[in-house]
Chains A and B, each alone.
Chain A
């Protein structure tokens, strides 16, 4: 475990991570090891993260060393697509039992590796460590090393047992595993001045193939995509790429940065979501390749392709414009890069509500990202009635959000479109945006909404009328009873990460005379998680006269000074 903990420390020191850079030496040492809130935690573990990051490598046998829960409950659950082998979708696990727990599971693991090689002959076996074998002290590094030399085949230990931290950490530990054991261990058959890596793209729903034809036409070769539709050999020889694009998500920043450090492969962060972002990404790839020695004419060809494909995409969106103009979309998402679709939605005539963003300039994008991050947290535990009210207040016609809110939105009988990782449609590149607009059109105009909102024959009122009445009654009760209204306001959660209610923040501001968001964060911990609620904190400070009408007391002035 000592090597694992030093590895984790190393990941936390990641200089490429902006969040880490902002931390003090002491905080960085603590890393992201903040304790998850028991009873309030959601999301996957480090093992989950590691498996998700690497399992799209298609021709590898992914063997999970642990009890049945880890693989048995989760295998074949991701929509990554493969252009070749489907071995990655075969679930391999040692399924350890009580005897293994007592006597150790190393032999069991070794035999499992042998069986897999005998039966499936994959180019490599990835062995994933899980909590129980980590606890009993199974040394998977040693087993993998022994198996590798015995069978003459790469057997790669991925040391990321679930309890070391969240999914995010697992992504990075997976990155470390391939950096240590895979990348740079083989040579490509040939190289070109147009070889690139794409890092952090999983080819969900085959999205990569929406972009690959563009690169193909430009003569740009994806030497390796880590890890969507990748083959073991691609990953092993990816160190010969000329440059890399890191797809938005920072989950694999350590790979991008260390490959730059070790193999001189410069990288940039970009996105293929949204028409403009796709164009920007293509330009940046061309620019960096030219910088690394590709002929200058590449840029000209790139611009020609961009002009042509942008025109096609806008033309593809055009037919939907008439029906969609004026329709209001509530876009709520945390994880995915959906903020980059804003321009395309606006181009289709859709109006975005719930954010104050009119145009999507670069600065605005950052703001949308922040706003949405915060709302995405909020929506996870909303009741159908609250969601109905939110959509009604926003006068929204459709909601675009991540998977978990789906069921609440649907129970609230609201048109809804999935834009998260588990979605079934591919929305990348130029074609993807047209596809997204088409899907919105389909969802919005589905006649099912009229049907499902009808009142049942035994009901006096429709669902909406009941909800409206309840909302009105609640509002009336609050208006009639200032104490209740105050209590309601104070019990509103502000910071979801640290579970801080508004009352705690108000008290801190008044009692300790806090005047800045930073001061509030320091005293109450609100805003020290994802940081998404900074805007809310500022608003609370700004509107202090409303919720604390008594003339501000002396300490406030002191703090301001």
Chain B
């Protein structure tokens, strides 16, 4: 449906995109007792760290191999080795998640090879898992870094099982995309639990970055899924993957363990959640709980009440492919028109977006295309654009640094969709233009009838 346009301009202005390594690091933050480590210069780490601190308003565990100019030229074996030894001694993690960066990829460091050498040299570190992901900054984007990392986790941390292994019918794997918040994951777990199903979430940000006050201080990640749990994921009855980005990870899980999977392109919207609930009912063999039935009915009502405000509205959305897909499908279903869609990286979904053009671009592109729109939807960096455009602004995605509660913004499930409808509808209502005596002034030449008539709320 949509024409996908790649940028023609040389200079990105007001970037929408964030880099692959930090997507990768965020995925590692969903593991228990883990230390994410960037193989790169210390700036790579510090920018990522600050971004997450501003977004989550939590202490973020993230280390660096601190590549100097000389080390970069000579190769980073020593730095990687030192970093691992130091982290093992100080923070004592169960796993170190290593993501490469632009600097070390440009040099061409063979980190897999390094790790083999380090393993040979340091048998005393055998108890620490080392997972390496190649995530050059100059390629792909945030959600790609996340997806590649989860795939690696599946390949290296989940124990292989035969296709006919005996499975625990009550366990279900969840592979969430990078666009799901800790709140979203909590909501999904809640839904599964209401059917008596236990969710194994990889990676699980709901325990680590959901903003809680921990009982004691740990220098590594807190919460998250443990290595032991990950190892047993091959015995689950089913895998639920959310977001097209997670297809590779779900396939890897199937290949390694024979666990069948269902990929949900999104879990925001009535129909998508109907499919989820039908799946849960099938997997559990239990009737749909009344709580869920009520939630669906509430969502239908919210859609009915909300459509008055969404109908005919023009919307500009800037987000990573899976979040863009989720939001544009959802808002189109309520009668709004996505007239500007800007994203960060390639995805098979782009051509199917419910809009005319999808641009892989920046916030300057989005701002230009958003002229005449009724709503701007993107992460916090869109705030200046919204101000210049004089239109309401709905913040979603990472980073969200000028509002509290980013971790708990929940848009999945019947309940999450319902809340999203209310939040956005309330923005429309709050920004309804009051009519003035000039609203319907006669334009002598232009035959304007009906065009300038503003909507009063």
Contact A313–B334 (Cβ < 8 Å): no
| Chain B 303-352 residues near chain A, CB threshold 8 A | 303-305, 307-308, 310-312, 332-335
B272 to chain A, nearest CB (A): 11
Assess whether A103 is interfacial by the CB under 8 Å rule: no
Residues of A within 8 A of B165 (CB): none
Roughly how many angstroms separate A309 CA and B300 CA in the complex, as a whole number? Answer: 41
Residues of A within 8 A of B456 (CB): 79, 81, 205-206, 424-426
Residues of B within 8 A of A212 (CB): 437, 440
Q: Which of B111-119, B121-129, B275-283 binds A?
A: B275-283
Q: Which of A28-36, A61-69, A448-456, A493-501 binds B?
A: A448-456
Assess whether B193 is interfacial by the CB under 8 Å rule: no
B270 to chain A, nearest CB (A): 5
Roughly how many angstroms separate A135 CA and B38 CA in the complex, as a whole number? Answer: 81
* Interface contacts beyond A431-B450, A435-B453, A457-B274: sample of 13 additional A-B pairs, CB < 8 Å, sorted by A: A206-B435, A209-B440, A213-B442, A217-B442, A312-B449, A430-B449, A434-B450, A434-B453, A442-B312, A446-B307, A446-B311, A454-B271, A457-B278
Assess whether A83 is interfacial by the CB under 8 Å rule: yes
Q: Mark A72-115, 1 if CB is under 8 A from B, else 0.
A: 00000001010100000000000000000000000000000000
B233 to chain A, nearest CB (A): 26
| Chain B 206-222 residues near chain A, CB threshold 8 A | none
| B interface bracket (residues with beta carbon within 8 Å of A) | 35 or more
Roughly how many angstroms separate A103 CA and B312 CA in the complex, as a whole number? Answer: 58
Residue of B nearest to A456 (CB): B296
Contact A452–B300 (Cβ < 8 Å): yes
Contacting residue for B435 out of A205, A213, A316, CB 8 A: A205
Q: Mark A217-236, 1 if CB is under 8 A from B, else 0.
A: 10000000000010000000
Contact B450–A438 (Cβ < 8 Å): yes
Residues of B within 8 A of A411 (CB): 301, 304
Contact (A426, B435) CB under 8 Å given A410-B304, A451-B303, A458-B281: yes
Assess whether A242 is interfacial by the CB under 8 Å rule: no
| Chain A 304-343 residues near chain B, CB threshold 8 A | 309, 312-313, 315-316
Roughly how many angstroms separate A451 CA and B306 CA in the complex, as a whole number? Answer: 13
For the residues of A in contact with B, the DSSP-based class is helix
For the residues of B in contact with A, the DSSP-based class is loop
Please report B residues at the A interface, Cβ cutoff 8 Å: 269-271, 274-275, 277-278, 281, 287-288, 293, 296, 300-301, 303-305, 307-308, 310-312, 332-335, 432, 434-442, 447, 449-451, 453, 455-457
Q: Mark A452-472, 1 if CB is under 8 A from B, else 0.
A: 101011100000000000000
Contact B278–A431 (Cβ < 8 Å): no
Contact (A447, B449) CB under 8 Å given A79-B456, A209-B435: no
Roughly how many angstroms separate A213 CA and B438 CA in the complex, as a whole number? Answer: 8
Contact A451–B450 (Cβ < 8 Å): no
Residues of A within 8 A of B457 (CB): 424
Residues of B within 8 A of A424 (CB): 432, 455-457
Assess whether A290 is interfacial by the CB under 8 Å rule: no
Residue of A nearest to B354 (CB): A447
Contacting residue for A426 out of B277, B311, B334, B453, CB 8 A: B453
Contact A451–B439 (Cβ < 8 Å): no
Residue of B nearest to A443 (CB): B311
